[in-house]
Amino acid sequence: MTTLDARARGDLAEELLPTAASLVTIVHGDGGPDDLGNLIGRLDTVQKDALLVLLASMVDPDRALSDAFAWLQFDEYGRPASAPFRGEWTRIRDLAVELEEPEAATELIDEVAVAAYAEGRNVAVTDEERLRAVVRCVEGGMSYQDIDRHRNLKLGDTSLFLNRMRRQYEREGREFPAMERPNEPRVFTEDEVVEIRTRSAAGATDLELAMSFGTEAGVIGHICRGRRHPEFGGPIRKPKRGPSKNTRTYWLGDGDTADYAKAS
């Protein structure tokens, strides 16, 4: 069906009542195949789904088949129906097929939301989507603590979440996804290196970039300082300068002797 809320579904059902009534009268002899095609051809997928539900709601499932089809005067071959319908004592409910189990939750995962969560963006996710995002981050080389810090979570929150999900999987008899950090270092293209350095120069943190590129914050730091992939372009992060003369280190006597004497 659709994602319409209860009010929208009710409005749609009311809107389709004339169509449902027309369909019933056509099937009962007030029209033919062309009329059916013209009537149904005007409906989109959402309306057709709603029409099916509306028509089904008009039928009593505990009614006998002989009653439900009592109006028929001819069989499927066009011969006069001289005998009652052969399922005389069978109820409509008795012919209903058993519903299949719903698809696994993993089939309903929004991969866009997973990617956004893995990149550290503020997005609503289900537990299954969060789990897949954590798997993606860990397989990219991140630790649980890295994920906590970047998403502004209390340290240990991701670990607690994984323990809860692991117990849930065990209760349901499902195999918990393996989360193994890569043995081989992440290989970056020239475009990725330039983007990392450019975003870093613009203010992105190493952890934020690590989330985006599926690696560790330390690796990002090496790339931005030019220690990794020095052959590629992009702004190189300048090394931090030592303590200036107005720091506590200087005033404790570790600065230049002449300057220190002047200051004293």
Given a cut of 90, whether residue 53 has pLDDT beyond it is no
Residues 234-247 as b/e (b if ≥16 CB within 10 A, e otherwise) read: beeeeeeeeeeeee
pLDDT in tens, 100-139: 655 544 457 888 888 888 888 888 899 999 999 998 888 7
pLDDT at residue 101 in the model:
54
Which of 113-117, 163-167, 215-219, 236-240 is modeled with the greatest confidence?
163-167
Report yes or no on whether pTM surpasses 0.75: no
- Whether 78 and 31 share a structural domain: yes
Residue 62 belongs to some domain of the structure: yes
Residue 120 belongs to some domain of the structure: yes
Average pLDDT over residues 77-94: 62
CA dihedral 149, 151, 152, 155 (to 10 degrees): -50
Residue found under tokens 């189990």: 101
- Whether 16 and 84 share a structural domain: yes
Q: 190 has which bridge partners?
A: none
Contacts 24+ apart (CB under 8 A), 122-125: none
Given a cut of 50, whether residue 262 has pLDDT beyond it is no
- Whether 84 and 156 share a structural domain: no
Average pLDDT over residues 151-156: 87
- Measured distance CA(74)–CA(232) in Å, rounded: 81
Which one of 156, 171, 186 terminates a domain? 171
Q: How many domains does the chain have?
A: 2
Domain that holds residue 163: 106-171
Q: How many helices (H) and strands (E) does the chain have?
A: 13, 0
- Whether 10 and 86 share a structural domain: yes
CB contact at 8 A, 181 and 192: no
Residue 26 belongs to some domain of the structure: yes
| Encoded tokens for 64 | 């006998």
Given a cut of 60, whether residue 258 has pLDDT beyond it is no
